[in-house]
Structure 1
Amino acid sequence: MALAADTRTAARPDPAPSADPAARLALSAAAVAGAEEVTDWLAERQQAGTFEVERIPFDRMDKWLTVPATGDLVHETGRFFSVRGLEIREEDGRTWSQPIICQPETGILGILAKEFDGVLHFLMQAKVEPGNIGPVQLGPTVQATRSNYMRVHQGRATPYLAYFLAEERGTVLTDVLQSEQGDSFLRKRNRNLVVEVTGEVEVGPDHRWLTLGQIHRLLAVDNLVNMDARTVLSSLPLAAATGEPAGRAGSDTEVLSWLAELKAMQVREVQLVPLDRVTGWRRTATEIAHAEGRHHRVIAVSVLAGNREVSRWTQPLLEVERPGLAAMVVRRSAEGPQLLVQGLTQPGTFDAVEMAPTVQCVSDGFSDLPEQPPFRDLVLAAPPEQVLYSAVLSEEGGRFHRRANRYLIVAAGDDFPSQLPDGFCWVTLDQVRRFIQFGNHFTVEARTLVTCLGSLHGGEGGWSA
């Protein structure tokens, strides 16, 4: 079914969408045939184009400048993004600083949806990024910064952009502003959209119609479905499964009040400073790195890409030394699946605190932290029958160089602690999906795990344990 829809246009208008989006998504999630052929298509697209990435010194970057007075890395147009310094002052007076990406523009992460033979399909892209592990991964229909789709680079137009900007763009299934990595970006947000259309859509060689079930199958493959696709898919209104009672989560009001209290208690101060003023970091001709080898480092790359809007460019990237860990503990309940989240503050978080996975150690690795976070040892030592999901997934390859995290979903055992540390809270999957629609409530790592959880059992948010 899906293969017939890969490259053709619709032969006739599809009927109007049904009123129950969860039922339509469940039907699409059940259609998994042909998923294995997508990896062959991605490999073919990689071979079809030229793609080379080379590390270079900062002074070899074209159109990028080091500001003499500050050391900041900026584009000559003042657009795209910049790398600056950020100083953080804790409540107890301690201060520390780090490089941070400033990208005030709001980009578009959009996926087109369309029914073929009564089954909802999503138009996905073979997306090439300089920092990808791959380098081709499965991305959304459109993945573009505002500078890119406004063609500041004077390159080719972004395909399918009009479907997400035009007033008569179709039926919006989800549309929300979402944050990105708060350890690396300063208050960055992107617009996450899924738009359903009924008319003909011309499909080029770098795009392909897939069912939700096919995408879910591909989430089990390391470094295949990119971060931007994962965050968009997290907001789809899938139905939650039910299970045996294991404890009650708080009401919506109670959970939101818990989060609001954490935000109100947050007194950390952050301010931009010149990149040359970040303390504890060393700068060479080829990198800006922490003196102890921790955190990320700033590097520069030269890129040759035959199938991008611009075929050659240079840019800074952030590189992380070690893979991180993002793990969600889940349990069944009469209210459906429950997720154990923590309230996490990061230097660049848009609104002080967001709900994060049970364990989120994604910028320093997790094996040598001076103080291990709660539940870290528990999720790493979980027996195989409790590990519901495990894969290494890449982060955004347009800003990070080969950054990846181990994503885990672990079922709570009978001996799981009933008393939670401060800052932790059980929430139902239904609540998570409602709160995701508000934006800025969940870290991008948490949203990835929500998407992965939805992939475990027919897209219904259940699991087999």
Structure 2
Amino acid sequence: MSVRADADHTEPSTAHRAARRRPARVPRPLRRRGRHRRRTSLDAFTGWWTRRSGAHRFRVERIPFHGMDAWSFHPGTGNLAHRSGRFFSVEGLHVRGGEQPFPEWQQPIIHQPEIGILGILAKKFDGVLHFLMQAKMEPGNINLVQLSPTVQATRSNYTKVHGGAAVKYLEYFTQPRRATVVVDVLQSEHGAWFHRKFNRNIVVETDEDVPLDDDFRWLTLGQIGELMHRDNLVNMDARTVLACLPTPFDEPAALHSDAELLSWYAAERSRHSVHARRVPLAGIPGWTTGAESIAHHADRYFRVVAVRVEASNREVAAWTQPLIEPCGHGITAFLTRRIGGVPHLLAHGRVEGGFLDTIELGPTVQYTPRNYAHLTGPARPRFLDLVLEAAPDRIRYAAVHSEEGGRFLHAQARYLFVEADESQAPNDPPPGYRWCTPGQLTQLLRYGRYVNVQARTLLSLLTTRAVEL
């Protein structure tokens, strides 16, 4: 269904109507749905996907911490780290200055200072741009294999710290003359579970003949958008890269001009005085380290667990590692309204302990309901109940998507666009929230540290036309 034209009749001011943006243009083939002259049909894709999902031997089993190879707790700090000093470590984090009802807390967090590559290779076939996508196994995926970028590799992976095989197609992202850059920007990962972690989100276009490996397929942007309606298929790393595509939106006006939006954002960053520092994992209050997990005393938020992995088609065929396992599934949603006839999204300036710059713009709602079930009244997260209780005819899109499967175990959230009216979400929302157009948020993705990874998943649904508001 489409948003009703009479959802509300609020008109932006003359100044707002004058604030017209010209989003970065992209080649016309990128914007086309690609319904014709596709390299493969979705029926053929489904058959290929079924074959690739069963083509390799995969196994993931939980093990006690002492069963991990080359991983151990440091005798002084209690930090969980690899003996090479590479990959990542699990440490403690102490945060002060957070939002109510949690102004201060301590938690385990992943420290992985290296910057990885999330890259999608593009190529025109018969004038239509296609994207080379991969059937990739990650140990934390609920279904193990998901549709991934062409290259999804940490620096430790592609520099072969693990002694494994080379990363396929990496040369298109590390050798500048092999392809033309469409977008290349540093973007953050989950601020609740990573400490100041970034990846390069890259799309490059080549005109070379590209040998096609069995685990890879060319898809149009429109086909990827159609696949976004399937639960747990398109992985987080693909979604964040696709969100960064310089996609134009037909927006003659916005409730707030770009300058006003950036001014509000700067004020939000300034009003939050957040101090987050890494501390030893050993003995952080409220958390207990057992033989098989590090868990919160109230069994909320997440656990740190260990797994043994076998994957016959990965750069390394077998390994062990820690993973973060959330306690419950998340709800992630943008409230949407048409204001002056233009679609708007209600963004939230979110404070997360792992962010470099205190806040990033997130969806209206980004919570795990189980973690807040004990809270009532004003302590309940804003707009959460509105999303949970939304009538079916208000839900513009809903699907379950996995979070990053290389570090998180069975981390899933239901992603939604929910139509609101002015009485539920007024033009002047509570502090910390601001109405933005999709084009304004997409423009901010040209720069890092503005829009968080959950909001980028929802924006990827717009750039691929999985949903139109």
How far residue 392 of structure 1 moved from its aligned partner, in angstroms, is 0.6
- State the Cα deviation string for residues 163-220 of structure 1 (Å, max 9, x = none): 0011213111111000010000000000000000001001100111001111101100
Aligned to 1:4: none
Please show how residues 376-387 of structure 1 align to structure 2 within 5 Å.
376-387=384-395
How far residue 382 of structure 1 moved from its aligned partner, in angstroms, is 2.2
Distance in 2, matches of 1:169 and 1:363, equals 46
Please show how residues 342-421 of structure 1 align to structure 2 within 5 Å.
342-362=348-368, 367-369=373-375, 371-413=379-421, 415-418=423-426, 419-421=428-430
Distance in 1, matches of 2:232 and 2:173, equals 27
Q: Of 62, 72, 83, which residue of structure 1 is paired with 2:79?
A: 72
Distance in 2, matches of 1:287 and 1:83, equals 12
Task: State the 4+ residue runs in structure 1 displaced beyond 6 angstroms.
Answer: none
Distance in 2, matches of 1:365 and 1:436, equals 30
Structure 1 residue runs of 5 or longer lacking an equivalent are 1-18
Q: Of 179, 184, 193, which residue of structure 1 is paired with 2:193?
A: 184
Distance in 2, matches of 1:182 and 1:335, equals 34
Distance in 1, matches of 2:341 and 2:244, equals 19
- State the Cα deviation string for residues 341-368 of structure 1 (Å, max 9, x = none): 0100101012111000011114955655
TM-score under structure 2 normalisation?
0.89
Q: Is the 8 A contact 1:386 1:413 kept in 2?
A: no
- State the Cα deviation string for residues 414-436 of structure 1 (Å, max 9, x = none): 64432311111011111111101
SS of aligned partner of 2:441:
helix
Q: Of 265, 282, 301, which residue of structure 2 is paired with 1:276?
A: 282
Q: Of 151, 157, 163, which residue of structure 1 is paired with 2:166?
A: 157
Aligned to 2:460: 451
Please show how residues 199-278 of structure 1 align to structure 2 within 5 Å.
199-242=208-251, 248-278=254-284
Distance in 2, matches of 1:106 and 1:293, equals 32
- State the Cα deviation string for residues 32-79 of structure 1 (Å, max 9, x = none): 872243333222112110100010011110011211111111111111
Aligned to 1:16: none
- How many equivalent pairs are there? 439
* Distance change (3 Å), C-alpha of 1:342 and 1:94: closer
Structure 2 residue runs of 5 or longer lacking an equivalent are 1-23
**Partner AA of 2:62 in structure 1:** R
How far residue 229 of structure 1 moved from its aligned partner, in angstroms, is 0.1
Q: Cα RMSD (Å) of the superposition?
A: 2.1
Q: Of 22, 31, 38, which residue of structure 2 is paired with 1:26?
A: 31
Distance in 2, matches of 1:179 and 1:379, equals 26
Please show how residues 45-56 of structure 1 align to structure 2 within 5 Å.
45-56=52-63
* Distance change (3 Å), C-alpha of 1:104 and 1:261: same
Q: Is the 8 A contact 1:103 1:186 kept in 2?
A: yes
Distance in 2, matches of 1:363 and 1:270, equals 25
SS of aligned partner of 2:54:
helix
Please show how residues 282-293 of structure 1 align to structure 2 within 5 Å.
282-293=288-299
**Partner AA of 1:407 in structure 2:** Y
- State the Cα deviation string for residues 437-459 of structure 1 (Å, max 9, x = none): 111101100000001233446xx
* Distance change (3 Å), C-alpha of 1:405 and 1:368: farther
Identity, % of aligned positions: 48
Q: Is the 8 A contact 1:391 1:407 kept in 2?
A: yes
Q: Of 187, 191, 194, which residue of structure 1 is paired with 2:203?
A: 194
Q: Is the 8 A contact 1:28 1:120 kept in 2?
A: no
- State the Cα deviation string for residues 5-47 of structure 1 (Å, max 9, x = none): xxxxxxxxxxxxxx95253222145458722433332221121
TM-score under structure 1 normalisation?
0.90
Q: Is the 8 A contact 2:136 2:147 kept in 1?
A: yes
